[in-house]
Chain A
Amino acid sequence: MAMSGTQTNKLPLEGIRIIDHGVVYTGTAATTFLGDMGAQVIRVESIGRFPSMTRGLVARPPEGLMKGLYHGYPDYEPGARPWDRWYQLHATNRNKLAIGLELDTPRGAEVYKKLVKISDIIMENFSQGTMDRMGLGYEVLKQVNSQIIMISASGLGKEGPYKGYSTFGTNVDSITGNMALRGFPDDDMTMKDCSPVWADNVAAGTVSFAALVALHYRQNTGKGQFIDISQAENLLPHMGESILEYTMNRRLPQVMGNRDQAMAPHGCYPCLGLNKWVTITISSDAEWQAFGEAIGGSQWTKEPRFTTVLGRYHHQDELDRLISSWTVTQDNFEVMYILQSVGVTAGPVVSPSTVYRDLHLQARGFFKEVTHRETGTNLYPGMFFKFSRTPAEVRLPPSCLGEHNEYVLKDLLGISAEEYTVLEKDNIIGTEYLPGA
Chain B
Amino acid sequence: MQTVLSDVKVLDLTQYIAGPYCTKLLADYGAEVIKIERLGEGDGARRVSPFFQDDPNPEKSGLFLHLNTNKQSLTLNLKTGRGKKILLDLVKDADILVENYSPRVMPSLGLDYETLSRINPRLVMTSISNFGQTGPYRDYKGMELTLFAMGLHMHFEGEPNREPLKFPANKAQYLAGTYAATATMGAYVGAKVTGQGQQVDVSIMECLISPPEAAAWLMAYYFTKLETNRVGHRREGSFPIGVYPCQDGYIFVYGVVSFFWPRIAAWMGMPELMSDPRFATPAARRDHHGDFDTIFIPWLMEHTRQELFHSGQANRLPVTPVYTIDETLKDPQFVERGSFTQITHPVVGKITYPGLPFKLPAAPSVPQRAAPLLGEHNHVILSGRLGYTDAEIVKLREMGVI
Contact = CB atoms under 8 A, between A and B. Distances in A.
16 contacts: A90-B219, A172-B320, A175-B321, A184-B158, A190-B250, A191-B159, A205-B182, A230-B358, A236-B328, A248-B53, A249-B52, A252-B324, A355-B209, A380-B215, A381-B214, A387-B187
Contact of A209 (B25, B187, B245): B25
Interface in A353-380: 353, 355-356, 359-361, 363-364, 366, 375, 378-380
A244 B361 CA distance: 27
B96 to A, nearest CB: 12
Interface string B332-354: 11101101100000001001111
B325 A177 contact: yes
Interface in A143-173: 155-157, 159-162, 164-168, 170-173
Contact of A380 (B189, B201, B219, B328): B219
A343 B363 contact: no
A209 to B, nearest CB: 5
Contacts of A257: 165-166
B333 A156 contact: yes
A402 interface: no
A416 interface: no
> What 8 A-B pairs come out closest when comparing CB atoms?
A12-B190, A244-B62, A352-B221, A225-B362, A240-B66, A234-B357, A25-B212, A29-B212
B272 interface: no
B381 to A, nearest CB: 24
B105 to A, nearest CB: 16
A8 B5 contact: no
Contacts of B215: 29, 91-92, 380-381
B227 A233 contact: no
A244 B336 CA distance: 20
Interface stretch (A105-113, A192-200, A306-314, A404-412): A192-200
A364 to B, nearest CB: 5
Given A179-B243, A196-B153, A252-B324, A166 B318 contact: yes
B194 A92 contact: no
Interface residues of B, number: 162
Contacts, number: 538
A215 B167 CA distance: 33
Given A25-B216, A216-B185, A217-B363, A238 B171 contact: yes
Given A225-B363, A236-B339, A279-B145, A190 B245 contact: yes
B206 interface: yes
Contacts of B197: 389
A189 to B, nearest CB: 5
B313 A166 contact: yes
B218 A381 contact: yes
A386 interface: yes
A349 B189 contact: no
Interface stretch (A268-276, A297-305, A423-431): A268-276
B387 interface: no
Nearest to B254: A168
Contacts of A171: 252, 254, 318-320
Given A165-B313, A212-B186, A241 B132 contact: no
Which interface residue of A74, A260, A350 has the most chain B CB atoms within 10 A? A350
Interface in A215-274: 215-217, 219-221, 223-230, 232-234, 236-249, 251-253, 255-258, 260-263, 266-270
A173 B206 CA distance: 23
Given A171-B320, A182-B165, A241-B48, 6 more contacts: A13-B190, A193-B232, A232-B339, A239-B169, A243-B352, A258-B165
